[in-house]
Structure 1
Amino acid sequence: MADIPDDLLALLRAVDTPTVCNAIEVAQGQRGFNRFTRGTMQHSKPGDPPIVGRARTAKIAGLAPPQEAPDVIRARRMEYFRSMAEGDGPTCAVVEDVDYPNCIAGWWGEVHVAVHKGLGLAGAVTNGVMRDLDVIDAGFPVLAGSVGVSHGFVHVREIGTQVSLMGMQVEQGELVHADRHGALVVPEAVIPSLKAAIETVMASEAIVLEPAREDGFDIDKLAEAWAKFEAART
């Protein structure tokens, strides 16, 4: 997998996920990019910088008790933590709750946020449940399918496999960008051109935004600006 240049990483941490989504289409030269989450998700700290990292994947469940022996479940959880601690940075947790849409297990609460942050991950994306919103550590955003109160019978099912959450499939190691709007997977092929594509998106939007925010803006100025905007965008 391609290295993420420092200047691109800094830019990805400064822009929102819709901008990255638009920029991927610019880099690809066409519309139709679709590797993103669907529906409205819940964010632990709206307004926090985006989650940017290569996915460390896992699957959990918690609606019903596990069927395996307790020592197997305990050992797998530690293997999960070892997997989360590995990988070239930056990394983020991408965890599928296989009980969706009936998830009850608050995997992402005060303890697990502190542990994953301490292991060096940048944040978490899940279709499952988060809780303890008033006391979780700052600096580790969680984008979740819901907010709840219980941990249920939560246990790890799989580690490092492909996950599917909110309509988005993610492989271990793929680059993820996420904020309060949702999450997406950045295709490896666009990484070398993504910085320029983001800058192109921002410049093309400024064609309309700048005059729209000036005094004296009217329909004639809009028509002039919009024609330039249409010519510049993908």
Structure 2
Amino acid sequence: MADPIIPDDLLALLQRVDTPTVCNAIEVAQGKRGFDAFTKGTMQCSAPGEVMVGFARTAKIAGREPPNEAPDVIRARRLDYFRAMAAGPRPAIAVIEDVDFPHCVSAWWGEVHTNVHKGLGLNGALTNGVMRDLGDLAAGFPVVAGSIGPSHAFVHVRELGTPVKVFGMEVQQGDLVHADRHGALVIPPDVIPDLKAAIEKMWAGERIILGPAKEPGFDLEKLLAAWADFERART
């Protein structure tokens, strides 16, 4: 199967807009409310002003308890993990489920791993697990995580390339993911051809209400007039 492709103009747009914008635009593209492939709950973000978008490279980790497999098996799987992260279509982000959730204690994401993954060509990480080394993480490699903590504990890789779940959002390897300080979502493949136009349509609709709301003399009467036009334009 051919690698998935994001049109260059859409990719450039997705790299500029926040995740709530993409979430709303997906509903515009679908022509209905009810899109549900997003994280549920408050997450931690290492770089609040940055956005990540890319095809998911998935894995599962654990670390609350020592692994029960032989050390050479654990080491071989970790090396296979790096091989898997280096493979696949780009742009890409690491999407890692800590199976100890909601009692995660082992920080997979810190100074070393963010620099290693950035060097392997990934542009961010999404996890329900722990991050650390705030202030020393790789520049331009945002991490959206479930929590912050000091220890790596007994962290080890459990699975590679399997479906994962992060804050209620299911992710398959190869899914197109958008994430920022608000959380993350999976972009359905069928909306990709229409997503840029949907974002632009949504912006045009918002200007109908935001323009008057920011002008001097805005009042209820002007709101009601603008809102009628806004309702006709929105999904």
Would you say same fold, with TM above 0.5? yes
Which residue of 1 is the match for residue 86 of structure 2?
Answer: 85
Structure 1 SS opposite 2:109 = coil
1:211 to partner: Cα distance: 1.1
Which residue of 2 is the match for residue 121 of structure 1?
Answer: 122
Assess if the C-alpha contact under 8 Å between 1:17 and 1:179 holds in 2. Answer: yes
Give the TM-score normalised by the residue count of structure 1: 0.98
Residue-by-residue CA offset, 1:34-55 (whole Å, 9 max, x unaligned): 000000000001112x110000
Assess if the C-alpha contact under 8 Å between 1:2 and 1:191 holds in 2. Answer: no
Between the aligned partners of 2:48 and 2:5, the Cα distance in structure 1 is 29
Which residue of 2 is the match for residue 175 of structure 1?
Answer: 176
Which residue of 2 is the match for residue 45 of structure 1?
Answer: 47
Question: Deviation above 2 Å: which 4+ runs of structure 1?
Answer: none
Structure 2 SS opposite 1:229 = helix
Structure 2 SS opposite 1:101 = coil
1:138 to partner: Cα distance: 1.2
Which residue of 2 is the match for residue 34 of structure 1?
Answer: 36
Residue-by-residue CA offset, 1:108-138 (whole Å, 9 max, x unaligned): 0000000001111010000000000111121
1:221 to partner: Cα distance: 1.1
1:201 to partner: Cα distance: 1.0
Q: Which amino acid aligns with 1:45?
A: A
Which residue of 1 is the match for residue 232 of structure 2?
Answer: 231
Between the aligned partners of 1:224 and 1:7, the Cα distance in structure 2 is 35
Q: How does 1:9-158 map to 2 (within 5 A)?
A: 9-48=11-50, 50-158=51-159
Assess if the C-alpha contact under 8 Å between 2:178 and 2:185 holds in 1. Answer: yes
Structure 2 SS opposite 1:107 = strand
Unaligned runs of 5+ in 2: none
Which residue of 2 is the match for residue 220 of structure 1?
Answer: 221
Q: Which amino acid aligns with 2:149?
A: G
Between the aligned partners of 1:137 and 1:173, the Cα distance in structure 2 is 24
Unaligned runs of 5+ in 1: none
Q: Which amino acid aligns with 2:170?
A: Q
Q: 1:2 to 1:115 in 2, by over 3 A?
A: closer
1:2 to partner: Cα distance: 4.1
Structure 1 SS opposite 2:195 = helix
What value does the CA root-mean-square deviation take over the aligned residues? 0.7
Between the aligned partners of 2:178 and 2:110, the Cα distance in structure 1 is 21
Q: Which amino acid aligns with 1:12?
A: L
Q: Which amino acid aligns with 2:6?
A: I
Structure 1 SS opposite 2:61 = strand
Between the aligned partners of 1:2 and 1:191, the Cα distance in structure 2 is 11
Assess if the C-alpha contact under 8 Å between 1:2 and 1:188 holds in 2. Answer: no
Structure 2 SS opposite 1:34 = coil
Identity across the alignment (%): 70
Structure 1 SS opposite 2:68 = coil
- Paired residues in the alignment total 233
